[in-house]
């Protein structure tokens, strides 16, 4: 199979054929150069904006992590001090474990529920499309609005909407975001509600590509519904799982608005995750150098986790 480069070269090679030997070389060189530069010229505006608004701030953030940053004035080079301070920071350790719990539960349950929804709502029938659109709505609602709704749902008295329902089965009233023992899980609950539909869409796209004859063969072989899901569907949409979990890890590790808008990391830091802690270090403690170091480490953590997951997937495949 020709590579992209080879394919791109083909028309140019064809165009050369009628040229005379005398003028062919400079003209060919100009033509090749122009062809090489054209895509970059089109990309240039976006690249300039990306460089200025993304790559430069990222690089500058990493650079700042080696300084004691003065909010106003000269920064002081302190080498790796900001990074070594991480190991003595008990608040960060708590935030780290909270984040780990968050990622595992939020990503796991979102994927599971998303997958189940996808199985239930796969198909082109009109009524399924309506239900699917309704189910997908949480994914497009802004987090701040969702958080306000969940604040009401989670109201920690017997008259709160969720507590009223739980009261019917003799449970509660629960504190939800007001209870340090439940606040993190309550935020995770909101995250799952919002993420599962998003995952569902990716799974549905994956399911659409599964060869129907495999199901028929499995059925002929006497496979039950569960066995068909286990031995046909899941292996066939491995790619969708990889995408959902990779994106989930990236989103989960750097989760911020869900926690900040619902609990602000409280009460008693019980729902503090790494990003809300970075925010606190930056804009409450104003220790910008340390916050930059934490952000750098978070960036590395995300990259390593994602790479490790993709590597494991590939090994398994």
Partner 1 sequence: MKAQTGPRPTSSQRHRTLTTSCTAVLILSLVAACGGDDGGGDSQDGGGNPADAEATDEPLQVWVRQAEDGGLPTYQEMADLYEEETGQAIELYGEVTGFEESLIRAASAGNLPDAIIYDTEGLGQLVDWGMVQEIDPDVLENRDEILDLAWTAAQGVDGSYYAVPTSTQAFNLYIRSDWRDNLGLDDPQTWDDVVEIARAFTHDDPDENGEDDTTGYVVPGSSQRGYASWFWITLLWQAGGDYFEPQDDGTFVPTLDTPEAREAMQWLHDMVFDHQVVQPGTANHVTADSHPYFQSGESGLYHTGPYMIAGFDDEPGQDVYDVIEPVTGPAGNDTLAEGEQLYVMTGTDKADQALAFAEWVASPEGQEAGMNPGGYSVVRLPINENVSAGEVYDHPYWDVVAETFAESGRYVTPVPNFGPFRQIVADTVNIVISDPDADIDLLMDDLNEQVAAELDAQGVLAE
* 5, 23, 40, 72: which one binds partner 1 (CB under 8 A): 72
Q: Is 44 in the site for partner 1 (CB under 8 A)?
A: yes
Region binding partner 1 by CB under 8 A among candidate stretches 103-111, 200-208, 227-235, 267-275 = 267-275
Counting Cβ atoms within 10 Å, is residue 159 exposed (0-12), middle (13-18) or buried (19+)? exposed
| Choice from 2, 18, 45, 79 touching partner 1 (CB under 8 A) | 45
* Pair of tokens at residue 76: 């002081």
The answer to whether the beta carbons of residues 174 and 168 sit under 8 Å apart is no
Angle (nearest 5°) at CA 310 between 213 and 58: 135
Q: Which is nearer to partner 1, 163 or 233 (CB)?
A: 163
CB atoms within 10 A of CB 178: 17
Cα–Cα distance between 234 and 224 in angstroms, integer? 14
Are the beta carbons of 122 and 116 closer than 8 angstroms? no
* Residue that is written with structure tokens 């009401």 in the block: 152
CB of 68 to partner 1, least distance (A): 12
Question: What is the three-class DSSP state of 173?
Answer: coil
Cβ nearer to partner 1, comparing 115 with 154: 154
Task: Report the DSSP beta bridge partners of residue 217.
Answer: none
Instruction: Show the tokens assigned to 143.
Output: 């987090």
Using CB atoms within 10 Å of the CB of residue 84, give its burial: 0 to 12 exposed, 13 to 18 middle, 19+ buried.
exposed
Q: Give the number of C-alpha atoms closer than 13 A to the C-alpha of residue 247, restricted to the C-beta side.
A: 13
Q: Print the binding letters for residues 176-215 with partner 1: x by CB under 8 A, - otherwise.
A: -xxxx-----------------------------------
If the CB atoms of residues 186 and 296 are measured against partner 1, the closer one turns out to be: 186
Span between the terminal Cα atoms of the chain, in Å:
23
List the x/- string, 136-175, binding to partner 1 by CB under 8 A.
Answer: -------------------xxx-x----------------
Judged by CB, which is closer to partner 1: 220, or 268? 268
Is residue 286 at the binding interface for partner 1, with CB under 8 A as the rule? yes
98 binding partner 1? (CB under 8 A): no
As a 3-state breakdown, the chain gives helix, strand, coil percent values, each rounded to 5, of: 75, 0, 20
Is residue 38 within the footprint of partner 1 (CB under 8 A)?
no
Taking the complex as a whole, the smallest distance from the CB of residue 187 to partner 1 amounts, in Å, to 11
Nearer to partner 1 by Cβ, of 23 and 74: the residue is: 74
**Please, what is the minimum distance in Å from the beta carbon of residue 133 to partner 1?**
24
The residue ranges of DSSP E strands in the chain, in sequence order, are 67-68, 76-77
Site string for partner 1, 48-67 (x = CB under 8 A): xx--x---------------
> Which residue(s) pair with 68 in the sheet?
76
Name which position in 240, 288, 293, 298 contacts partner 1 (CB under 8 A).
Answer: 288
Q: How many residues bind partner 1, per CB under 8 A?
A: 29
Q: Footprint of partner 1 on residues 216-255 (CB under 8 A)?
A: none
Residues making contact with partner 1 (CB under 8 A) = 44-45, 48-49, 52, 70-73, 155-157, 159, 177-180, 263-264, 266-270, 283-286, 288
């Amino acid at each position: 199979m020709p590579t992209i480069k080879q394919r791109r070269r083909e028309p140019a090679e064809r165009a050369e054929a009628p040229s005379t030997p005398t003028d062919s070389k400079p003209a060919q060189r100009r033509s090749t150069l122009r062809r090489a530069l054209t895509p970059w010229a089109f990309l240039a505006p976006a690249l300039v904006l990306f460089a200025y608004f993304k790559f430069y701030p990222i690089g500058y953030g990493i650079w700042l992590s080696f300084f004691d940053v003065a909010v106003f004035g000269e920064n002081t080079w302190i080498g790796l001090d900001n990074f070594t301070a991480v190991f003595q920071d008990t608040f960060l350790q708590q935030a780290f474990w909270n984040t780990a719990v968050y990622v595992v539960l939020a990503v796991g349950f979102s994927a599971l529920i998303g997958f189940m929804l996808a199985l239930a709502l796969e198909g082109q029938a009109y009524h399924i499309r309506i239900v699917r659109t309704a189910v997908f709505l949480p994914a497009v609602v802004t987090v701040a609005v969702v958080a306000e709704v969940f604040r009401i749902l989670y109201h920690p008295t017997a008259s709160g909407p969720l507590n009223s329902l739980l009261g019917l089965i003799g449970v509660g009233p629960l504190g939800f975001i007001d209870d340090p023992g439940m606040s993190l899980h309550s935020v995770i609950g909101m995250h799952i509600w919002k993420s599962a539909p998003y995952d569902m869409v990716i799974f549905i796209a994956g399911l659409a590509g599964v060869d129907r004859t495999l199901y028929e063969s499995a059925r002929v072989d006497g496979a039950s519904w569960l066995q068909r899901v286990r031995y046909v569907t899941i292996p066939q949409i491995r790619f969708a799982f990889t995408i959902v979990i990779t994106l989930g890890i990236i989103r989960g590790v750097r989760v911020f608005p869900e926690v900040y808008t619902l609990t602000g990391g409280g009460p008693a830091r019980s729902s503090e995750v790494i990003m809300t802690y970075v925010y606190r270090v930056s804009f409450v403690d104003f220790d910008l150098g340390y916050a930059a170091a934490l952000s750098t480490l978070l960036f590395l953590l995300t990259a390593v986790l994602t790479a490790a997951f993709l590597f494991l997937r590939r090994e398994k495949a």
